[in-house]
Chain A
Amino acid sequence: NAGVTQTPKFQVLKTGQSMTLQCAQDMNHNSMYWYRQDPGMGLRLIYYSASEGTTDKGEVPNGYNVSRLNKREFSLRLESAAPSQTSVYFCASSPQGWGAEGYTFGSGTRLTVV
C-alpha cells in the first residue's frame, strides 16, 4: 500500500535549469495537490487538480506548471529554476476536494537551486 509516491527525493539544480517533479497515488483519489514548505512559512499551495482533466492555481503558482496526466499522476514542472524555489515540495491527494477526509501526503522532494 504505497499511498502517495514522489520522485526524486532529493535534487540539486543550477539556476535556469528545468526539471519535473513526479507524483503518483494508488488510492483512487480524485483530487491532487502540490505544496511547498519553507521554514517560517508553513505549507503553501502551488497548484491543485480537483479532478482528472482540471488544474487550478493556488497561492504561489508563479514559476511552476503542472500536468494531471491521468487520475493517478500529477507532475510539477519548473521551467527555469531560481534560488527562491529552493524548498521542500509535497504532493498530496484526497478523495474529493477540501473536506474532512484529509490529505495523504507524499514524503517530499528536497530541492536546492544554486
Chain B
Amino acid sequence: QKEVEQDPGPLSVPEGAIVSLNCTYSNSAFQYFMWYRQYSRKGPELLMYTYSSGNKEDGRFTAQVDKSSKYISLFIRDSQPSDSATYLCAMSEDDKIIFGKGTRLHILP
C-alpha cells in the first residue's frame, strides 16, 4: 500500500458546485496535513494546512482531517472557474514530507 493515495481525476464539476477532494494515507505518524494548488505550468502553492485531526476553514475552502480513518479532505464551496487546477495533498512527520500525485479539477462555466 502506498503511503499516500489520491485519485488523479480529472474531476469536472459545474460552476457553483461544492467540490470534495480526498486523500488516504497509511502512516499513522503523520502530524501535519497540507493542500497545495498547482496551476498549469506553475509551481505548487500552499493552500491550507492543519495539524492533527479536525477542521480548518479559510474563505471558500475547508480542510478536514480524520486521523482515525487516515483520511483527509478539501472542500471548495461555490466553486469558480479560477479554481481549475491540480490539487495535491501532502503530509509530514519529523523527517519527511510525502505528496499525493494530485487531482486535476475542472470547473465548468
Contacts and interface: CB of A to CB of B under 8 A. Distances in A.
Contacts of A43: 44, 88, 99
A53 interface: no
Contact of B97 (A42, A90, A98, A107): A98
Contacts of B43: 4, 90, 92, 105-108
Interface string A74-114: 00000000000000001010000111101111111000000
A90 B41 CA distance: 11
A98 B95 contact: yes
Contacts of A40: 8, 101
Nearest to A102: B46
A1 to B, nearest CB: 14
B46 A103 contact: yes
Contacts of A105: 43-45
A2 interface: no
B93 interface: yes
Nearest to A105: B43
Interface of A: 4, 40-43, 90, 92, 97-100, 102-108
Interface of B: 8, 32, 34, 36, 41-46, 49, 51, 88, 92-97, 99-102
The 5 lowest CB-CB distance pairs between A and B, nearest first, are A105-B43, A42-B101, A102-B46, A100-B32, A98-B92
